[in-house]
């Protein structure tokens, strides 16, 4: 089974080392990890680099049987835009998606940080308004509803730290949890007479 | 032709009025606009509301022939996560995507605001590092590369204000530009002998 490893780790200074670590964990679960920066990029003209990275990632997502996405907030209230886009693409292709956020807080709490709920105004339709005048999504979800609902609807699962304590963006505890859930699900789907993974 | 109208306008206090305005512009171009909050939601149990909105939006995207996405930054350095997700899903389904941002600045400039380029450090691999230690994408694109590359690869187009002046998130000038481009493209595709749109 091939799994595309979406996440903002590609922006880390040690992106390649993190990719190696994620792929090693995948192997322990009998899974082949496809990491966004796998491709060799030397020799690509700078002005073609974005298109080359895009094409390589899209090809890996198409080739993957499933996606595991690190949806920990990245430079703002929500997940990395590239990762969110990839979760959307995988959903469009009908692939199971597993996701995690190392930040246990719901989107509402992150967006309204420093704004006590009692001081937030209500819009005429009952939604809670941010001081910017626009509604704050308030479904108790970790991020925009399309992301977590897509994960559930795809047959996957979404995880946050069970003890309520935020972990570093690159922490791999919940990455392992996703792989465990994915492999368990495959085993159930395959049934008692199926060959081992 | 049916076009799904993705964007953060659903969070505006007057979301429905904006939807009416966008659909009216679509009609002028001979297009049927599908606006995320079209569906009646009265009577839905609150705990099912997120799943209901998700299912309705997904159904509209599947039904659409194309997507026009408002990718103007929303509460942070980049576009609304729900809109980004929808662009990803539409790409997975092979639909043409047109997008616009009312903010003409590239992602790099927004992310590095207040951080003069000369003071930004380079990572060992040559990428520019944010003070948070992670790379800042620097392809001259408006947002994460997966978004704009997907739009180009889908056969669509992406627009920013031609005069370099940022406009309000809900400004519809570039929304019209997208529709004009989409309809022109359909006319070209249809060829000289084709029936009128």
Give residue A197's pLDDT: 41
| Residue whose C-alpha is closest to residue B12's, from A133, A41, A96, A144 | A133
Please state, in angstroms and rounded to a whole number, the distance separating the CA atoms of residues B56 and A195: 39
Whether residue B132 sits in one domain with residue B92: no
Q: Are residues B100 and B116 in the same domain?
A: no
Which residues, given as ranges, of chain A have pLDDT below 70?
A: 38-41, 192-197
Q: Which of A7, A71, A81 has the most B C-beta neighbours within 10 Å, making it the best mutation to test the interface with B?
A: A81
Contact B75 A153 (CB under 8 A): no
Low-confidence ranges of chain B (pLDDT < 70): 38-41, 192-197
**Is residue A113 assigned to a domain?**
no
Interchain CB contacts (distance < 8 Å): A and B:
157
pLDDT value at residue B197? 41
Q: Are A107 and A77 in contact (CB under 8 A)?
A: yes
Closest residue by Cα to residue B134 from A193, A11, A21: A11
Domain match, B24 and B49 both: yes
In this structure, the answer to whether residues B96 and B158 fall within a common structural domain is yes
Q: Do residue A12 and residue B144 have CB atoms under 8 angstroms apart?
A: no
Predicted pLDDT at A23: 97
**Among chain A residues, CA nearest to B81:** A144
The answer to whether A78 and A105 are in contact (CB under 8 A) is: no
Is position A116 within any domain?
no
pLDDT in tens, B136-145: 999 999 999 9
pLDDT above 90 coverage of chain B, percent? 75
pLDDT at residue number B54 = 95
Q: A68 CA to chain B: closest CA distance, Å? A: 15
Q: How many domains does chain A have?
A: 1
- Three-state SS letters, chain A: CEEEEECHHHHCCCHHHHHHHHHHHHHHCCCEEECCCCCCCCCCCHHHHHHHHHHHHHHHHHHCCEEEEECCECCECCECHHHHHHHHHHHHCCCCEEEECCCCCCHHHHHCCCCCHHHCEECCCCCEECCCCCECCCCCCCCCHHHHHHHHHCCCCEECCCCCCCCCCCCCHHHHHHHHHHHHHHHHHHCCCCCCC
pLDDT-above-70 percentage for chain B: 95
HSE (CB half, 13 Å, CA atoms) of B31?
Answer: 28
Give the pLDDT confidence of A18-39 residue by residue, as tens digits: 999 999 999 999 999 999 975 5
* ipTM of the prediction: 0.94
State the Cα–Cα distance between residues B49 and A8, nearest whole angstrom.
29
What pLDDT shows up at residue A190? 75
The CATH number given to whatever domain includes residue A26 is 3.40.50.450
Which pLDDT belongs to residue B40? 57
Adjacent-strand bridge partners of B73: B79
Task: Enter the pTM of the model.
Answer: 0.94
> Which domain range does residue B167 map to?
2-106+143-190
Closest partner CB to B91 (pick from A76, A89, A147)? A89
CB contact under 8 A, B92 and A88: yes
Q: Nearest residue on chain A to B111, judged by CA atoms? A: A75
CA separation, residue A54 to residues A41, A49, B150 (Å): 12, 8, 8
In this structure, the answer to whether residues B63 and B82 fall within a common structural domain is yes
Nearest to B81 among A92, A129, A147 (CB): A147
What local confidence, expressed as pLDDT, does residue B180 receive? Answer: 98
Q: Tell me: do B119 and B101 sit in the same domain.
A: no
Nearest CA in chain B to A54: B146
Contact predicate B56/B87, CB 8 Å: no
Chain B residue with minimal CA distance to A57?
A: B146
CB A48, CB B140: distance < 8 Å: no
How many CA atoms lie within 13 Å of B155's alpha carbon, on the beta-carbon side?
A: 14
B23 and B76 inside one domain: yes
């Amino acid at each position: 089974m091939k799994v595309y490893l979406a996440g903002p780790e590609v922006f880390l200074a040690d992106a390649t080392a993190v990719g190696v670590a994620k792929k090693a964990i995948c192997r322990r679960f009998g899974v082949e990890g496809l990491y966004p920066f796998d491709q060799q990029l030397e020799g690509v003209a700078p002005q073609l680099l974005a298109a080359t990275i895009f094409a390589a990632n899209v090809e890996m997502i198409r080739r993957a049987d499933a996606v595991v996405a690190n949806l920990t907030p990245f430079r703002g209230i929500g997940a990395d835009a590239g990762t969110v886009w990839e979760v959307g693409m995988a959903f469009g292709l009908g692939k199971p998606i597993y996701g995690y956020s190392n930040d246990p807080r719901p989107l509402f709490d992150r967006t309204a940080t420093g704004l006590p709920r009692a001081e937030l105004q209500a819009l005429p339709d009952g939604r809670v308004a941010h001081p910017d005048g626009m509604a704050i999504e308030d479904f108790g979800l970790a991020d925009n509803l399309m992301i977590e609902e897509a994960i559930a609807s795809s047959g996957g699962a979404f995880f946050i730290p069970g003890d309520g304590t935020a972990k570093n963006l690159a922490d791999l505890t919940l990455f392992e949890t996703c792989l465990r859930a994915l492999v368990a699900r495959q085993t159930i789907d395959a049934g008692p007479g199926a060959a081992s993974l």
